[in-house]
Structure 1
């Protein structure tokens, strides 16, 4: 279980109560965060990124990633503060400060800013609001967002391009994108946006390419990958269902049995028996 508390419309405090938590995310806005306790592991097409206590990270908007949060060695639950920098605020800032039109940003989507003393001080100034969230008014949150923008621009030249590239995703190859990203359990509207389409166009193009609906294809694709991981890679169903994009184990088990005639656990036991009978294979 995770307790998410929006202190203000774009400031999030998240604290988990389980030792290990897994989730998937798609953020339409840039996110600047600090790990207060525990550890977070972010997995994207760029690879893995680890945040330990005190780590500060900036994540670019329109990114898909899986997140695994763990308690630290002392058993402290994972917790963080995250500030979302929305496009409207950035547009207003760009006009007011004569920021020139930026080229397409092509650098890293996740940037490690740990060690930046000014950003550390910025997050320290937010800590009192954890116990007094009502004191974080909309006006203060607005000022804090502008402060974060200023601090990022001071951190290096690349952040102007990072923040003020307002180009939206172009219409891209749908088949390639879906085959690379089907494991992410996000709404169809998010898939549509990331491929540069409206939801209706996304569904229409999808049906033309795959000859089925997105919902049916996603479930079939995830079940096929799960079957492979359990039968060939000997992975446990409890580890597999989140990895391939299912929300809960019971739904995964039900859909798996409907597709293959046996539950994931039964497939695991079947594979174990084969190994016992044929230990050399």
Structure 2
């Protein structure tokens, strides 16, 4: 499920408004299933107001709780409900790259850009939050309840104030390093995106979007780097990971199939048997 499309197509569930290249969201997460597979097609700044969720990408796990914040990069992931915390209320902001670069350039001379750490590769970049940052994002909540037209200039100023205070926080240098790389035109290597997201059930257009490339450029760059087609490479990588999880965990076969991009257990079993000569269940035995 593409989070951006799901959010924008369900305004009754997700309180929202947009100005320029920004989508503002304020909502209680409606998740019902224990684990859902999602992907984010734009950079998203998220501030958790109450409750929380657990995120999984590949072998990495992230815990989001009350008063935590993070930048979610373009990525596929699994979102899990915490057994002890069912609800999750949050504020989120989608900023398209060009707009984010514009804001960053406005602030550039005021930001601590010397001796930044390497650009992080993880899909979720946590941010430290102080009282000033918290006051900034809480001040936006009343606008979601306003019935009259919204003053775009004021909203943009308030968002800029929020981002500025996030950027200058001395513990947010990893996030700043990532934003700086975007502003400088850095193109994420195709292998970096694919190695982190191959296990998710995405089509080629969605993978191209994660890499910030057109579909034709994605196919060309993929072939140059891997020397094969995306379909063959994805199938091989998913089977390797599924076999490794069967070897090293006690997870149910259906769960392993889901975690490797297969929504149909019969299809997974058939592909596994074609690859390894035996069904996943017999292989485990």
TM-score of the superposed pair, with normalisation by structure 2: 0.68
1:200 aligned residue: 216
Pick closer, same or farther for the CA change 1:144–1:46 going to 2, 3 Å.
Answer: farther
1:84 aligned residue: 94
Q: How does 1:46-195 map onto structure 2 within 5 Å?
A: 47-55=60-68, 57-59=69-71, 61=73, 63-64=74-75, 66-71=77-82, 73=84, 76-94=86-104, 96=106, 99=109, 106-108=118-120, 110-114=125-129, 116-132=130-146, 138-156=152-170, 158=173, 161-165=177-181, 166-170=183-187, 172=189, 174=191, 178-179=194-195, 181-189=197-205, 191-192=207-208
1:277 aligned residue: none
Pick closer, same or farther for the CA change 1:172–1:113 going to 2, 3 Å.
Answer: closer
* Aligned-residue CA RMSD (Å): 4.1
The counterpart of 2:39, out of the listed 2, 19, 25, is: 25
Q: How does 1:227-238 map onto structure 2 within 5 Å?
A: 227-230=243-246, 233-238=249-254
- Cα distance in 2, alignment partners of residues 255 and 271 from structure 1: 13
Structure 2: runs of 5+ lacking an equivalent = 8-13
- Cα distance in 2, alignment partners of residues 164 and 211 from structure 1: 32
- Cα distance in 2, alignment partners of residues 228 and 98 from structure 1: 45
The secondary structure found in structure 1 opposite 2:75 is strand
Q: Is this contact kept in 2: 1:171–1:197, CA < 8 A?
A: no
1:82 is displaced (CA, Å) by 0.9
Deviations 1:10-54 (A, max 9, x none): 21235124262333434543x322223332223457943311123
1:200 is displaced (CA, Å) by 1.9
The secondary structure found in structure 2 opposite 1:143 is helix
- Cα distance in 2, alignment partners of residues 20 and 216 from structure 1: 31
Deviations 1:251-277 (A, max 9, x none): x53243255269xxx733x367x4xxx
Q: Is this contact kept in 2: 1:23–1:68, CA < 8 A?
A: yes
Pick closer, same or farther for the CA change 1:92–1:46 going to 2, 3 Å.
Answer: farther
Deviations 1:170-215 (A, max 9, x none): 47474x7644542244453464466675432332343466564313
Q: Is this contact kept in 2: 1:94–1:100, CA < 8 A?
A: no
- Cα distance in 2, alignment partners of residues 218 and 33 from structure 1: 30
2:48 aligned residue: 35
Pick closer, same or farther for the CA change 1:26–1:240 going to 2, 3 Å.
Answer: same
Q: Is this contact kept in 1: 2:15–2:144, CA < 8 A?
A: no
Pick closer, same or farther for the CA change 1:195–1:267 going to 2, 3 Å.
Answer: closer
- Cα distance in 1, alignment partners of residues 184 and 48 from structure 2: 29
Pick closer, same or farther for the CA change 1:139–1:169 going to 2, 3 Å.
Answer: same
Pick closer, same or farther for the CA change 1:173–1:27 going to 2, 3 Å.
Answer: closer
Pick closer, same or farther for the CA change 1:141–1:22 going to 2, 3 Å.
Answer: farther
1:120 is displaced (CA, Å) by 1.9
